[in-house]
Structure 1
Amino acid sequence: MQITAAVARQQNAPLTIETLELEDPLDTEILVKLVATGVCHTDMVVIAGMMPTPFPVVLGHEGAGIVEKVGAAVRKVKPGDRVVMTFNSCGQCPSCQAHHISYCHEFFPRNFMASRADGTSALSANGEKVHANFFGQSSFASHAICHEANVVKVPEGVELELMGPLACGVQTGAGAVMNALKVQAGSSFAVFGAGSVGLSAIMAAKVLGATTIIAVDMKPERLDMARELGATHVINPADGDSTEEIMRITGYGLAFALDTTGLSKVIKGAVLALAPMGTCGVLGASAPGTEINLDEVHFMSGGRRLMGIVEGDSNPDTFIPLLIDLYSKGLFPFDRLVTFYPLDKINEAIHDSESGKSIKPIVRIG
């Protein structure tokens, strides 16, 4: 079938809206008609050439839509089901078998290499291969093919075009707090970086009952939003040393910290702000090979912990429905972060996200 898609043809260049050919789903695949897709920082990292994803490629990995067709072996969903598409996983490795699928041993090839396991692609343009299957979907398109491992049903009664970000960015921030760090009621928590991921973490910390919730960011408008969503304190590093201010606020340091920036200097400061036995999660990343430098005596002597977190350590089949339930009850208002754009304005959406004008762009496709 012919579909419309935003194609990344080369690094650091605008996406182009094109008509492509899409194959029928294989026996284990699912065809989804998109209504909307979130724009995530990971898409921009690939466009910038910081990952070995091949070009030309259709990106997009926060897709929401309606199932149109399923392969003969698919049992999880049926045509007409409302779904979101999340990250892909193999289902067979020790991590997947232990229900820690965000640490799948094949996470990188199944999500970043934009091809099926056999190297083929379901997309082409006049006989030219266009790479697909990015995060098991490639959802900057009118239609996408995904898999049982990365499709999650969405209940009736919620706005489907709003749900895509739950599949990656929002899930990552909220899951880091709820699943990985397991922030406790009455505890202290700080997030470094108040974009969509960091603000999702703040909402999650509020849901869990943290009593000191600190947002650290350079953008005053992001700090204002953080206060509205549950932060009890905000810090702009331009006004002084963030670690010193956190120690002043808490008296002895943080129980939990989360870095979303991937910047080594910021991570070091977050760890320095931990109380003894405190834990810092890291979910942002700079270029491959970037190192984290810590004060070894401070880190070791206080029994402090540093942990990497991928996709919020989430099982999407259970965690995304939980977030939808919290949203429906008014406890997790992630819609406050969203700005909608039409598909033909996708480059504007990317620019606005990079500049900070939009916190969480969603591209309407249906």
Structure 2
Amino acid sequence: MDLAFVNGPIQNGLFTFRSAPGKAVGLLAAEALNDLLENPVARHLWNCATLANDLRYRTVRGTLAREAFESDGIRDKYSGSAWEYAAVSTTTDADPEVRILALELISERLSTGDLVISPEDVHVCAVCGHMVGAAAPYMCAACGSGRFRDEKQWHLILTRPTGWPVLDHAEVYGTGRVRHLKTNAAHAPERLVLSRTRGHGIGLDGLGLPGLVLDPRAAVHVTTLAEGRRLGAKRIVMTATPTAIANIAAYGSPFRECAETRLLYGPHCRLPSPAVQLADVSSEDRLRFLFRRWFLPIAALGNTTDIPNTQIPALFAYFRRAYLRSGKTAEDGTGSLQMAIKAGEHRWVMDKEQLAEAVRTLR
């Protein structure tokens, strides 16, 4: 398989797809494009190595395993969504296959010198030992203490060569403008600490870093690569907002390729929550249901400028015309559409003939 799409792993936080339908846009876009390419079904990817979940888990630690805690949280997200949870396959950045791949990639990068393990001066909480950022915050996010100290610790380090770009155009799916995205991603420091203090995630104990896990911003890339390898895809596109991509790109630079699978970023804009809310539209209202679940997420992909509410009526009218036209299209016209998707040429979405052909596959 040449190309497949997956969602950028979603943080397993306190929300549901009913309360925050915009969080499903990347999932819906990936699902729609995989269907058009006639790909196998991709799993939904989740990010569970979060400090917020470490804190919430403390209240149930004695009665529930962390894996079950995360699984319960993910299951609850799907109420009132586009999917029935029982019909969905999910994977997280702490699953065994992801951990195995991560340690393989880290070991390879250590052997080539792309990554190193070295002593670093870091800021830690003087009470609980939680590692904080480059500058000590007002309050420790893990325990609430306001006391910090400098400490030398061993960490996994990535140093980007001076002048080397964080993100290149070839690493972004599509033919759209990515200059602003590249500029924002370039704000990352040249020297990055890739190991963090977390209670859950890809443990680095086997590398001589006990109690540390791979930074989640790097781990989401490994999760994506693992799914791409499972699907047998040469190129795996991870859908995410431009802001998210800019925040994680530098941390993921050592983890964009494994064996014959290469990761690409698929930027998509934000959509107004009511426009993609599926809880208040019946599947029997086929036109409106497909507009929210299928068309708008596809239209968002490759678009780095958020779509405002004022544009939704015009987009609905355009989609309605394509929907009506789809009943008149030929039965064998998907070849050019698939070629456009594989080439990253996203203008087909606003081509009435090609869009009608794509809609025909949904009838």
TM-score (norm 1): 0.25
Q: Which has the higher helix share?
A: 2
Bigger relative contact order (CA 8 A; separation at least 6): 2
In proportion to residue count, which structure has more strand?
1
Instruction: Name the TM-score, length of structure 2 as normaliser.
Output: 0.25
